[in-house]
Amino acid sequence: MGNGILVFAEQREGTLNKTSFEAIAAGQALGSELGQEVLAVLLGSGAQGLAEEIAAYRLSKVIYAENEKLKDYTSDGYADAMERVVRAVNPQYVVMPHTYLVRDYAPKLAARFGKGVISDCIRAQVANGQVTFSRRIFLGKIDADVVAEGEPPVFATFQSGAYRGDQATRGDSDAEVETMALEVGEVRMKPEAPFQEVKQAVDLTKADVIVAIGRGIKSKDNIAIAEQLAAALGGDIAASRPICDAEWLPIDRQIGSSGQTVAPKLYIALGISGAIQHLVGMKNAQTIVAINKDPEAPIFDIADYGIVGDLFEAVPVLTEEIKKLKA
Amino acid sequence: MKIIVFMKQVVNKDAILRINKEGTWVEEGDISYEVNESDGYALEEALRLKEKHGGGEVVICSMGPQRVKAVIKDGLARGADRAIHVVLDNLNNLSPFAAAKILAEAVREENADLLLTGLQSDDQGFAQTGVIMAELLGLPHATIVIEVDASNEALRVKRELESGWYQWYSMPRPAMLTIQSGISQIRYATLKGIMAAKKKEIKEVQPSSEGTSAASFQRIEKIYFPQKTKQTQFLGGGDAKKGAAELAEKLRAEARVI
């Protein structure tokens, strides 16, 4: 029987990922409702300072697992180190942010305990000592409430934004940092330095108005009607991932988790269903308009104005009306 | 080079979903299915690697009821050489660990050089099956891969990180890679390909009992449509043109963005 909640804090190149603080907030929320202590773990080499940064939060302990092989992230190194930490701590829950790094190693870690991860959760609720995790399935169209069964530990990852990093509570005094010098087995993969592709030509983060297109635009030729709308509004054109994948628009026009994150005054989503990966990139826009033929498209969950119908009918009319209003 | 590609059949992206009476899954009666998007890209990458590196074999492995034959046949028509169909009626209650266990056992004896699959499924979205399979087969892996360089003995892959960052990793073969959508342009099946596919082998295998009886450790209690976080004003009442005219006025008068 395990005890406590172990929060995985993520660092890269000597910087803590902001989702680490969200994970701490998630761990603290669960800890207070379950009446369990909350610990954090950080892996690295020469990253003691970051462990001390985490120790400012209300935690019963910060475990800093140190090994030369943990300097740069590898799935072999991280899964091995985390397995040792989890076996030593024997927690009830292991809470992690659903980042690309965690996605890469957490299933491998959980597999060593004969199980998988309750992944990409958007919230967790506690009733009678039982945690119900909610996940988005079917590309965001449906939510599923999931409960853990069997022996702990339960491995769970939380989506970026599920908890707020600024709601992670700081402690009255710093938590103890326990440095754990641990063995790490063979690391088979060799990482090279991370890099950015050629400087992005288009900076959509400064745009006031964005007209974004998704699959519903159907063909490259149809992009013109969206461009006309963008021109009428004095805005920029952008797209969801499939459009850039198809090379209908360059990748620097992509909005979402692997593209740009924007918060314009007006965001018009044309034929975009609203998969989570897109929503995280634009949900903070001031006014969101969605035009989509599917009334159940998740984009409508965050839209201020919605038109259910054919975008090829709506957009030319909208462009004309806006031109008239602006004239 | 022998490459195995794991492909899942999922509910069509545009399907109108209805929740079943028990509230535990969607109504499947009249729904249409398609190949999981990123798995389609994984197959394309496998075919390109085979072409580039002078042959070998591309084997599709797919799990599910008889309807998944549609995914298999389509993949064979695009150029895969043969297929393994793990026959299992219901995947919906399968945990990522159990799914990975069954699939790993189904291909263990193949001793492939490379295993590819999509980065996550468009239905359950666990994003774990490939990684757990790698662990069970004792292989190194990389996730969210957008470029594969197999010209040297060590495999070199480009991984996507967040916010426009990338990183190359090298690792020994055999290895498991989960492929990001958009890694390349997917080819269409040609008529010749469709005809040739009819003669290709599809081997049906039963799932290992160890896999099907693996404890799930997670169970869906209920599913439901997400609660809206915003009160959306729907305009036009089904008339898109009328909605557009109303919208322009709202953007001016209410939202004040024009």
With contacts defined as CB-CB under 8 Å, which chain B residues touch A247? 185
Question: Is A195 at the interface with chain B, CB within 8 A?
Answer: yes
> Contact A317/B244, CB-based, under 8 Å?
yes
Q: Give the chain A residue whose CA is nearest to the CA of B241.
A: A314
**pLDDT digits over B45-56, tens only?**
999 999 999 889
- What is d(CA A251, CA A238) in angstroms, rounded to the nearest whole number? 9
**Model pLDDT, residue A1:** 47
Whether the predicted pLDDT of A201 surpasses 80: no
A227 in helix, strand or coil? Answer: helix
Q: Who's near A37: CB < 8 A, 6+ residues apart?
A: A3, A4, A5, A31, A60
Question: Which H or E run includes A136?
Answer: strand A130-137
Query: ipTM value of the model?
Result: 0.92
Question: Is B23 at the interface with chain A, CB within 8 A?
Answer: no
- What is d(CA B258, CA B240) in angstroms, rounded to the nearest whole number? 20
CATH number, domain A204-326: 3.40.50.1220
Interface probe, candidates B169, B180, B242, chain A, greatest A C-beta count within 10 A: B169
Residue with structure tokens 């729907």?
Answer: B234
- What is d(CA B248, CA B256) in angstroms, rounded to the nearest whole number? 10
Of A101, A142, A325, the CB nearest to B225: A142
Whether B44 and B60 have beta carbons less than 8 Å apart is answered as no
Min distance B112 CA to chain A CA atoms (Å): 18
Highest-scoring range by mean pLDDT, A281-295, B69-83, B201-215, B226-240: B69-83
**pLDDT digits over B212-254, tens only?**
888 888 999 999 998 877 789 999 999 999 999 999 999 999 8
Q: What would the mean pLDDT of A152-180 be, rounded to a whole number?
A: 94
The values of phi and psi at residue A211, to 5°, are -110, 115
Interface probe, candidates A93, A137, A254, A288, chain B, greatest B C-beta count within 10 A: A137
**Model pLDDT, residue A199:** 58
With contacts defined as CB-CB under 8 Å, which chain B residues touch A261? 163
Of A139, A244, A290, the CB nearest to B13: A139
Of A76, A317, A324, the CB nearest to B140: A76
Q: Who's near A181: CB < 8 A, 6+ residues apart?
A: A66, A67
> Contact A314/B236, CB-based, under 8 Å?
yes
**Model pLDDT, residue A200:** 60
Question: Is B143 at the interface with chain A, CB within 8 A?
Answer: yes
Mean pLDDT is lowest, of A143-157, A192-206, B5-19, for A192-206
Interface probe, candidates B34, B105, B247, B249, chain A, greatest A C-beta count within 10 A: B247
**pLDDT digits over A58-90, tens only?**
999 999 999 999 999 999 999 999 999 999 999
Question: Is B22 at the interface with chain A, CB within 8 A?
Answer: no
> Contact A266/B134, CB-based, under 8 Å?
no
Question: Is A110 at the interface with chain B, CB within 8 A?
Answer: yes
The domain made up of B2-216 is a member of CATH 3.40.50.620: yes
Whether the predicted pLDDT of A8 surpasses 80: yes
Interface probe, candidates B139, B162, B213, chain A, greatest A C-beta count within 10 A: B162
Predicted confidence band of residue B200 (pLDDT cuts 50, 70, 90): very high
Q: How far is CA B174 from CA B7, B91, B106, B113, B126, in A?
A: 19, 27, 16, 4, 24
According to CATH, the topology of domain A5-181 is Rossmann fold (3.40.50)
Of B166, B222, B225, the CB nearest to A194: B166
DSSP character at residue B19: B
Mean pLDDT is lowest, of A48-57, A87-96, A201-210, B152-161, for A201-210
Predicted confidence band of residue A257 (pLDDT cuts 50, 70, 90): confident
With contacts defined as CB-CB under 8 Å, which chain A residues touch B131? 75, 103-105, 107-108, 111
Burial class (CB in 10 A: 0-12, 13-18, 19+), B151: exposed
CA A57 to chain centre: 22
Whether the predicted pLDDT of B120 surpasses 60: yes
Whether the predicted pLDDT of B191 surpasses 60: yes
Whether A144 and A135 have beta carbons less than 8 Å apart is answered as yes
Question: Is A302 at the interface with chain B, CB within 8 A?
Answer: yes
Chain A contacts in chain B segment 87-116 (CB below 8 A): 95-97, 100
**Model pLDDT, residue A161:** 84
Mean pLDDT is lowest, of A201-205, B63-67, B109-113, B205-209, for A201-205
Give the residue range(s) of CATH 3.40.50.1220 domains in chain A. 204-326
Please choose, from the candidates A148, A143, A89, the residue with its C-alpha nearest in 3D space to the C-alpha of residue A117.
A148
> Contact A146/B165, CB-based, under 8 Å?
no
With contacts defined as CB-CB under 8 Å, which chain B residues touch A192? 167-170
Interface probe, candidates B241, B249, B254, chain A, greatest A C-beta count within 10 A: B241
> Contact B244/A135, CB-based, under 8 Å?
no
Whether the predicted pLDDT of B257 surpasses 90: no
With contacts defined as CB-CB under 8 Å, which chain B residues touch A258? 160, 162-164, 180
The percent of residues in chain B predicted with pLDDT above 70, rounded, is 100
Min distance A136 CA to chain B CA atoms (Å): 8
Burial class (CB in 10 A: 0-12, 13-18, 19+), B19: middle
Question: Is B34 at the interface with chain A, CB within 8 A?
Answer: no
Whether the predicted pLDDT of A155 surpasses 80: yes
Min distance B160 CA to chain A CA atoms (Å): 8
Q: What would the mean pLDDT of A2-24 be, rounded to a whole number?
A: 92
Of B222, B234, B241, the CB nearest to A317: B241
Q: What is the mean pLDDT of chain A?
A: 94
For chain B, domain boundaries: 2-216, 228-258
